[in-house]
Amino acid sequence: MYNVLIVDDEPAIREGLTTIMDWGALGFRVADTAGSGREALAKLERVQIDLIIMDIRLPGMNGLDVIRKIQQEAAGIPFHFLILSGYADFEYARQAISIGADGYLLKPVDEEEMAEELQRIYRMLESREAADGRHDRYSDYLEDLLLNAYKGGEGEPGPVPPELQWPSYQVIMLDIRLPDTDRMGRMALAREQLSNMCRERSYGFVFTAGGHTGILLRRPLERPEQALELMREIRETLSSCAAAVYAAAGREVTSLGQLKASCDAAGFLLERRFLFRGDRVLLHSDWVALGQNALENSGDTFLETESGMPHRDLADRLYYALEMANEDTVAQILQDMEKMCLSHGDSEQSVKEGFARVMTLALDKYMAGRERSSSSLEPASLIAEVYGQRSLPELVEQVQLRLKQLTASLGEGSKEAVMKQIVNFIHTHYGENLKLELLAETFNYNSSYLGKLFKQHTGEPFNLYLDKVRIRNAKRLLAEGMKVHGVAQHVGYANTDYFHAKFKKYVGCSPSAYRSYNRKKGQTE
């Protein structure tokens, strides 16, 4: 028996409709009645209803508004509507059918006409229930097949149903993010809505595997535009119950016995969905693009592997690019980091941790000694934005945008301005491991060409100029009484013997002798 709700503001009509028909013989029973649209909505929350027979004109909220409200709040749950109207309300009845009503009857109601309408709707309900039953059976079959495969079994659990004998198969795995309230109920509704969508559009069948929801497609996705459209349809279908949805496709297979391979590939991609934009279903081509390193990922981040660049080197490159106000180099460094993440197949957490470490080191160094104003980019602010991004491409874009705020204020300048920046940089960072090759990379110059420009600007080769700056500062520190090995480290010479040789070459005496001479000189003065 299917449940009917009769809605009319006239008690006599509600009573007449309840008694005039042999409801049981038609496969229905009157579960309840309501005198207004709002009362009908309230009763729908307490009683399971299959068919609503409703007057088009109701106090406060007409039948059209009731239909729209039900469709809005109960998306995915099937309701059938039969509208009652007078001759003057024919336009309302036509609108009702255009938004989902199954038919209309003119008042006063003719018993034979109403019986015919009820028989028609009964057949629709029966057909849908039969389709639901078939869908459930095939979903159970797929879940048994996968359970058997994950336990090490081979082949299919029994004969393949004719309805599942397709030329090829492809699995879509879904990550459905739910609000915190009524999670179990929302997940059940989400799977019901997906099942309805797949059945109505002949996409395939919905099943569950390992806590995830899957769709077995009868027509595999082949092009990005198909993946984009399917993602749009899925999100639109689940908009009433899911906060966010992500999806990934496994590889196309030719038998159900290979279904586990398609599931595993989809699951692998779904775990790494952060590496790609989430506006479409991820495809097998994305899986291929990750490369062998990603497939063999041991769990370390790209920053900690031999194939990746150490995070301190990346931070230094980024720091130098910021110091030189070079937007192009900043962009290139971030793109290099993005490629490393993709090639290594990092998880969302490891990507964000890696970027946060590089940004923190580079920005802390950049901000040291600078006056922090309201326009300055605080490291903590950028790190918070890193962890708030939904995908790696969006993360890179946002970081690049924020860092551009820094480089834009410094400007790009001419060759002469670049040389001045490099000279100033040497005078303030002579104690660091400065190399012409690193500066050339920062400014997108060939190192030989940059060396020629530097010599034209200063009159001396880069290494000679750097040595003189270092020795000049070393003389100052030795005169102040600092010990020789401390001076060597401070001015950028890791090896004390090498510092000793350089100092003697340029000054004519050893560092210790220079220090002793200045100490005696200070005592006599």
pLDDT at position 74 is: 60
> Where exactly are the structural domains of the chain?
2-109, 134-156+164-295, 302-412, 447-524
Q: Count CB-CB contacts under 10 A for residue 122.
A: 17
Nearest one of 349, 396, 355, 410 to 379, comparing CA atoms: 355
CATH number of the domain at 134-156+164-295, out of 3.20.20.140, 2.40.50.140, 3.90.1150.10, 3.30.70.270? 3.30.70.270
pLDDT at position 382 is: 80
pLDDT at 370 over 70: no
Residues 112-141 have a mean pLDDT of 73
Report pTM.
0.51
pLDDT at position 376 is: 52
CATH superfamily entry for domain 2-109: Response regulator (3.40.50.2300)
Q: What is the pLDDT of residues 29-77, one digit of tens each?
A: 898 999 999 999 888 877 778 899 999 888 888 888 888 888 777 644 6
- CA angle at residue 409 from 405 to 411, to 5 degrees? 115
Decide the pairing of beta strands 212-217 and 51-55. Answer: unpaired
Q: What is the pLDDT of residues 401-454, one digit of tens each?
A: 888 876 665 444 456 667 888 888 899 889 988 888 888 887 777 888 889 889
Q: How many CA atoms lie within 13 A of 221 on its CB side?
A: 27
Please give the structure tokens belonging to residue 72: 């809005």
Packing angle between helix 462-479 and helix 511-524, nearest 10 degrees?
Answer: 40
Residues 286-308 have a mean pLDDT of 55
pLDDT at position 493 is: 92
Q: Count CB-CB contacts under 10 A for residue 186.
A: 19
Q: What is the pLDDT of residues 160-178, one digit of tens each?
A: 776 677 888 888 999 988 8
- Please tell me which residue, 131 or 485, carries the higher pLDDT value: 485
CATH superfamily entry for domain 447-524: Homeodomain-like (1.10.10.60)
